[in-house]
Structure 1
Amino acid sequence: MTADPRARSFDAAAAQYATARPSYPPALLDAVEELSGRRLAGARVADVGAGTGIATALLCARGAEVVAVEPGAAMARLCREALPGVPVVRGDGNALPLAASSVDLVTYAQSWQWTDTARSVPEALRVLRPGGALAIWWNTTAFDVPWIRAQHERVTRCCGTKPTPATRPGDADAVRAAGLTGLRVARRRLRWSRVVSLDVHLANIGSRSAFLVLDDERRRAFFTAERGLLSAAFPDGSVEETYVVDVLVALRP
C-alpha cells in the first residue's frame, strides 16, 4: 500500500500475526451497522488490507459476502487457508482491484494508515454503491492502564519511535488525520479486553511493524528484558490486554 518498509514487514511474520494479534469485540460490528445505516447480513463487503483474515472472519460470521484484498503473498495465503470460502485477491487500497459501484461497504482493520489517502479515499468511493460506506478502525492502546502505558514507553525507546500521546485526538482531528474531511463521518470508541498467555502477549507485541524492521539483536534484548518484567508483574502467566477500538464510518456522498 505504501513504500514504507514497515508496511511490507508483516508478510515475513504472517503466522505470528495470525496466532497472536487480537480480534475485535462484537460491539464493533454493531457500531458499523448503526453508523453506516446498513445490516451486514447480505451486504457485499471489501475488506482491504485483510491480512490473515481476522476482521474478514467476523464480517463473514455476520452474514456479509466478503472479498478480501491483501497485498502480501504470505498474509493472503493464510487468509485463504483460514477462510477457504472467501475470495482473496492481491491488491491494495491505493488501486483497488474491484469494479466501480460493486460493494456496499469497504472496511480497513488496522490498515488504513498504510494507504495514501489522496488515492485510497477516491478509490473507496469509486467501488462503493450509492448509499455505501467506508469503515476504518484500529485497536488502540488503553493508556490509562499503568502497565500498558509503561510498556508503550519501553517500546518507543527500543524502536526509536515517537510515543503516542495519552490523550486521543477529538473527532474533528481524527477525521482530518484519516483524510476524510468533506465526507459525512461518524466516530465511535469501544473499550474491550482479552486475557492471553504471556507468550501470546509478547508475540503480539513482536508482530508490530516497529519490531519487524528492527535488527535481531536489539529485538532479542528487548523481549528478554520484557519477559522478565512481565513475569514478575503477572506471576500466573496470564496477561489482560486492554484496547479501545477507534472506528470511523464515512458515508458515500
Structure 2
Amino acid sequence: MTSRSRATSFNAAADRYATYRPSYPGELFYAIEELAGIPLAGARVGDIGAGTGISTAQLLERGADVVAVEPGAGMAARFRKTLPDAPLVRGDANALPLADGSRDLLTYAQSWHWTDTTRSVPEALRVLRPGGSLVIWWNTSAHDVPWIAEQTERITRHTGATSPSLTPLDHPGAVRKAGLEGLHVVRRHLRWSRTVSLETHLGNLISHSGFLVMDEERTREFVAAEHARLQTLFPDELVEETYVVDLWVARGPGT
C-alpha cells in the first residue's frame, strides 16, 4: 500500500476521524507561544493538513487568525460542517495556496509526515514572514505504559503499519529525519492523557490509516479481539489513553 493511498484514506472516514480522534492539551499552545516567541492571539496562522479542524478550532479559540489548508475532499467537507465560518482553502503542504510572507506561523498537526520535505520546507519558508515559525506536532502513544506498548505491537502485526514514533529530544539524526536540516529547531515533549469510553478508544484506533486501507472484515476481527482484551483490563469500560505530544518549532536560517 502506497503512502499516498494511506494519506487519502482519511477522506472516506472523516466522520470517524472527527468523532474519535483526540484533540491537544492546552499546554501545547502555551509551549508554541513560548518556543516561537509569537502570541497566538492575533497571529496569522496557516493550519496545514487541517483535516476535520481539530487543531484549527483550538487555534481559533486562542484568538489566532487562521486559514486552514486541506487537500482531501472528505476531510474538507467535514471541516466545513464543524467550522462553517473558518476560512478553508484546498491545497497541500507541497504547494501552499498562500501568499509569500503572509503568515506568522504555519502549523502541521499530525500532517508533516505526509509531506515531501524537499518541497514542503521551501514552501513553508516562502509563506512565513521573516521571524515566523514552522510548527509541527504529533500525538504519540506513551509506550512506557505497558498495555499501550503491547497494543501497539498487536496493531503493527495486524496492519503492517507503524505510527510516527517519539524521537528522543537528543537524537542526533532527528532533525535530518524530519527534513529540517539547515533550520533553527527546538523541540519539547508534553505528556497528557484523556479518559474515554472503550467504544471511543477503539474508534480512535481504527481511524488510523493502517486500518482504513485494510479489508473491513480484518478490521472487525481486530476490534472484536481488542474489545475482549480491554474489557478484562478496564471492566468499567473507561480507558485512560496516555500520549506524549512531540512538538517541533523551526525557523528559517538567520531568524
* Alignment TM-score > 0.5, same fold: yes
For 1:237, the equivalent position in structure 2 comes to 237
For 1:132, the equivalent position in structure 2 comes to 132
For 2:141, the equivalent position in structure 1 comes to 141
Query: In the alignment, is the contact (CA less than 8 A) between 2:49 and 2:108 conserved in 1?
Result: yes
In structure 2, the CA distance between the partners of 1:160 and 1:3, relative to structure 1 (3 Å rule), is: closer
2: distance between equivalents of 1:167 and 1:134? 18
Shift of 1:124: 0.4
State the percentage of identical aligned residues: 63
Partner amino acid for 1:142?
A
Question: Which stretch of structure 1 is more off in the superposition, 73-82 or 229-238?
Answer: 73-82
Q: How does 1:98-109 map to 2 (within 5 A)?
A: 98-109=98-109
Shift of 1:178: 1.0
For 1:114, the equivalent position in structure 2 comes to 114
TM-score of the superposition, structure 1-length normalised?
0.96
For 1:208, the equivalent position in structure 2 comes to 208
CA root-mean-square deviation: 1.6
Deviations 1:137-191 (A, max 9, x none): 0001100000000000000110123587787463442211110011001000000
Instruction: Indicate the SS of the match to 1:226.
Output: helix
In structure 2, the CA distance between the partners of 1:177 and 1:166, relative to structure 1 (3 Å rule), is: closer
Instruction: Indicate the SS of the match to 2:173.
Output: helix
Instruction: Indicate the SS of the match to 1:68.
Output: strand
For 1:157, the equivalent position in structure 2 comes to 157
1: distance between equivalents of 2:237 and 2:44? 42
For 1:70, the equivalent position in structure 2 comes to 70
For 2:59, the equivalent position in structure 1 comes to 59
Partner amino acid for 1:238?
L
Deviations 1:195-221 (A, max 9, x none): 000000000000000000011121111
Question: Which stretch of structure 1 is more off in the superposition, 138-147 or 172-181?
Answer: 172-181
Q: How does 1:10-89 map to 2 (within 5 A)?
A: 10-89=10-89
Aligned residue pairs total 252
In structure 2, the CA distance between the partners of 1:53 and 1:143, relative to structure 1 (3 Å rule), is: same
1: distance between equivalents of 2:181 and 2:171? 11
2: distance between equivalents of 1:76 and 1:164? 23
Question: Deviating runs (4+, > 6 A) in structure 1?
Answer: 163-167
In structure 2, the CA distance between the partners of 1:142 and 1:3, relative to structure 1 (3 Å rule), is: closer
2: distance between equivalents of 1:208 and 1:174? 24
Instruction: Indicate the SS of the match to 2:105.
Output: strand
Question: Which stretch of structure 1 is more off in the superposition, 50-59 or 166-175?
Answer: 166-175
Query: In the alignment, is the contact (CA less than 8 A) between 1:48 and 1:106 conserved in 2?
Result: yes
Shift of 1:232: 1.2
TM-score of the superposition, structure 2-length normalised?
0.95
Instruction: Indicate the SS of the match to 1:4.
Output: helix
Deviations 1:33-52 (A, max 9, x none): 11111101001000000000
